[in-house]
Amino acid sequence: MTDLEKLLAIEEIRQLRPKYFRVIDAKEFDQLEELFTPDAWFDSQDAVKDPIKGQYPGFPIAPISRGREAVVQGIIDGLPPALQSCHMGHTGEIELLSDTTAKGIIPFSDRLLLPGVIATAGYGYYYDEYEKLDGKWRIKSATLKRKRVIFEDELGNGVAL
Amino acid sequence: MTDLEKLLAIEEIRQLRPKYFRVIDAKEFDQLEELFTPDAWFDSQDAVKDPIKGQYPGFPIAPISRGREAVVQGIIDGLPPALQSCHMGHTGEIELLSDTTAKGIIPFSDRLLLPGVIATAGYGYYYDEYEKLDGKWRIKSATLKRKRVIFEDELGNGVAL
Amino acid sequence: MTDLEKLLAIEEIRQLRPKYFRVIDAKEFDQLEELFTPDAWFDSQDAVKDPIKGQYPGFPIAPISRGREAVVQGIIDGLPPALQSCHMGHTGEIELLSDTTAKGIIPFSDRLLLPGVIATAGYGYYYDEYEKLDGKWRIKSATLKRKRVIFEDELGNGVAL
């Protein structure tokens, strides 16, 4: 790759996570498929787990989804209609590994509200692998790692786990 | 545009919102004008409105400002001297439409404190249009859309609307 | 510098702060040194100081560290093992000044928890100078400026100073 091609690739990859976050927060799930490769996998086991306080009681451990269809369905399952989610992708690190492969570490925070069930303010990273397929960069694998989860009531006040 | 020109344009556009947020939080309002085109407009009707809880009681609906002068004045009016504002622009999506036009979707969060009046933690997007004018990219239109507002007391605790 | 070289420099500089934040939050302090020039300095006097409420009682004023070794040690000292820190770097402004020098204004927020001692949600900026040395862009100076600090209990509730 030339330097110019590298920059074009990084710029295209950089916009994948913001689009992902926007689409899932808007529950426009029909736009998800094109963001992933057919063989994509998503390890979301850390999604509702605090590194210190542990798994939130009463919640199932989020899955490792294998294959694009399972990945998309796993995301839909994790975002029920009543959940109001705000995901924010912060400035991260993207590294090209070849003409068609790259990896990224994308810090994010999210603030979730599922009235009557759970509310959280969370911090973590997406450890991503990307692949260029059919002329477009897509997410090939994603591993979510939590740094912290603050459990809240519906007004946004911290509550004990 | 060549690929190189495209990347230069995106890089210049990317820095518009961070500058805007920094300038309004510092109340350095004399630096605002150059960020907008003369015919700019700003739809801020969603500025203090929660998508679920609605308009904050006692607050006027923020305006749609038309023309750069009105846009700048509307921003100044919305940021009284006693308001301590922290706006954060997250990684967004920028798309070039022509040599001189582009659009962007910029996620942001803000934490506002106007002692004795209101405090909030908010999440949303700027839906922007940009135009290159006199050799510089500027904001041509901005539409603020809220995802969530958490109303707080002065210590940062959530309070009922 | 050609336009292409400028874009490559900006892209490399952009990833310095995310790497810095990730490394300090993971306490992988052996990766810090390479991020700074040998003559780097870091003014962190504002680190635990709210612009309105002032210095947090019982806390020493954070130092101005001069020289890479002192900078790294100062960072280590400020991040004790029990501190759970989440730093997020938002979209900022980067400006090249020459082939080998640049400056940046990087907005950030952080959420810190040192059980039994302090918890905060904070907002501010890093005012950075960068230098290209031995073929890599590095941080030459950093000045932390706070916009706001919200003091919290361990559950994430705001508390009076």
CATH number, domain of C148, equals: 3.10.450.50
How many Cα atoms sit within 13 Å of C100 on the Cβ side?
Answer: 6
Q: For B29-60, what is each residue's pLDDT tens digit?
A: 999 999 999 999 999 988 878 887 777 766 66
Distance of alpha carbon C92 from alpha carbon C128, whole angstroms? 11
**Which of C144, C136, C145 shows the shortest CA–CA distance to C37?**
C136
Which domain does B124 fall in, by range? 3-152
Distance of alpha carbon A159 from alpha carbon C33, whole angstroms? 39
As to burial, measured by CB atoms within 10 angstroms (0-12 exposed, 13-18 middle, 19+ buried), residue A4 is middle
Q: Is residue A97 part of a domain?
A: yes
The three-class DSSP label of residue C134 is coil
- The C-alpha of B144 sits at a distance from chain A's nearest C-alpha, in angstroms, of 14
Instruction: Could you list the beta-strand ranges (E) of chain B.
Output: 36-43, 49-50, 54-55, 64-66, 84-89, 93-96, 101-114, 118-133, 136-152
**Which of B119, B106, B129, B131 shows the shortest CA–CA distance to B42?**
B129
Q: Is residue A158 part of a domain?
A: no
Dihedral of alpha carbons B113, B118, B120, B124, sign: negative
pLDDT band at A52 (very low <50, low <70, confident <90, very high): confident
Q: Using the beta-carbon criterion (under 8 Å), do B90 and C92 form an inter-chain contact?
A: no
Q: For B53-99, what is each residue's pLDDT tens digit?
A: 777 766 667 789 999 999 999 999 999 999 999 999 999 999 999 99
Radius of gyration of chain A (CA): 16
What pLDDT score was predicted for residue C61?
73
Q: Using the beta-carbon criterion (under 8 Å), do A121 and C156 form an inter-chain contact?
A: yes
- The C-alpha of B91 sits at a distance from chain C's nearest C-alpha, in angstroms, of 6
Residues of chain A contacting C21 with CB distance shorter than 8 Å: 107
Beta-carbon count within 10 A of A31 CB: 13
Count of all residues that appear for chain A in the document: 161
Of A4, A10, A158, nearest to C156 by CB-CB distance is: A158
As to burial, measured by CB atoms within 10 angstroms (0-12 exposed, 13-18 middle, 19+ buried), residue A134 is exposed
Please give the interface size between A and C, counted as residue pairs whose CB atoms are below 8 Å apart. Answer: 68
Distance of alpha carbon C61 from alpha carbon C72, whole angstroms? 17
Q: Is residue C160 part of a domain?
A: no
Dihedral of alpha carbons C75, C78, C84, C87, sign: negative
What distances in angstroms separate CA A131 from CA A75, A140, B7, one per listed residue?
20, 6, 21
Mutate to test the interface with C, among A53, A91, A105, A112 (most CBs of C within 10 A): A91
Residues of chain B contacting C160 with CB distance shorter than 8 Å: 155
Q: What share of chain C is helix, strand, coil (3-state, %, to 5)?
A: 25, 45, 30
Q: Is residue B84 part of a domain?
A: yes
DSSP H stretches of helix in chain C: 3-14, 16-26, 68-78
Enter the pTM of the model: 0.96
Residues of chain C contacting A148 with CB distance shorter than 8 Å: 84, 86, 111, 113
Q: Is residue B159 part of a domain?
A: no
**Which of C104, C152, B24 shows the shortest CA–CA distance to A91?**
C104
pLDDT band at B6 (very low <50, low <70, confident <90, very high): very high
What pLDDT score was predicted for residue B58?
66
What pLDDT score was predicted for residue C53?
77
What distances in angstroms separate CA A98 from CA A8, A95, A130, A132, B102, one per listed residue?
13, 9, 10, 10, 30
Residue A58 has pLDDT above 70, yes or no: no
Residue B1, H or E segment: none
Buried b (16+ CB within 10 A) or exposed e, A137-156: bbbbbbbbebbbbbbbeeeb
> By the 8 A CB rule, do B122 and B90 touch?
no
Query: What ipTM does the predicted assembly reach?
Result: 0.95
Q: For C20-77, what is each residue's pLDDT tens digit?
A: 999 999 999 999 999 999 999 999 988 878 887 777 776 667 789 999 999 999 999 9
Q: Of A26-30, A57-61, B132-136, where does mean pLDDT reach its minimum?
A: A57-61
Of C4, C11, C157, nearest to A10 by CB-CB distance is: C11
Residue C120, H or E segment: strand C118-133
Of C88, C92, C157, nearest to A158 by CB-CB distance is: C157
Q: Is residue A157 part of a domain?
A: no
What pLDDT score was predicted for residue A53?
76
Residue A93 has pLDDT above 80, yes or no: yes
Count how many domains chain C has.
Answer: 1
Q: Searching chain C, which residue's CA lies closest to the CA of residue A109?
A: C88
Three-class SS of chain A: CCHHHHHHHHHHHHCHHHHHHHHHHHCCHHHCHHHEEEEEEEECCCCCEECCCEECCCCCCCCEEECHHHHHHHHHHHCCCCCEEEEEECCCEEEECCCCEEEEEEEEEEEEEECCCEEEEEEEEEEEEEEEECCEEEEEEEEEEEEEEEEECCCCCECCC
Count of all residues that appear for chain C in the document: 161
Residue C152, H or E segment: strand C136-152
Beta-carbon count within 10 A of C50 CB: 20
Beta-carbon count within 10 A of B56 CB: 17
> By the 8 A CB rule, do C21 and C88 touch?
yes
For residue A54, report the phi and psi dihedrals to the nearest 5 degrees: 85, -170
Q: Is residue A63 part of a domain?
A: yes
Residues of chain A contacting B107 with CB distance shorter than 8 Å: 18, 21-22, 88-89
Q: Is residue C126 part of a domain?
A: yes
Q: Using the beta-carbon criterion (under 8 Å), do B22 and C125 form an inter-chain contact?
A: yes
Q: Using the beta-carbon criterion (under 8 Å), do C152 and B156 form an inter-chain contact?
A: yes
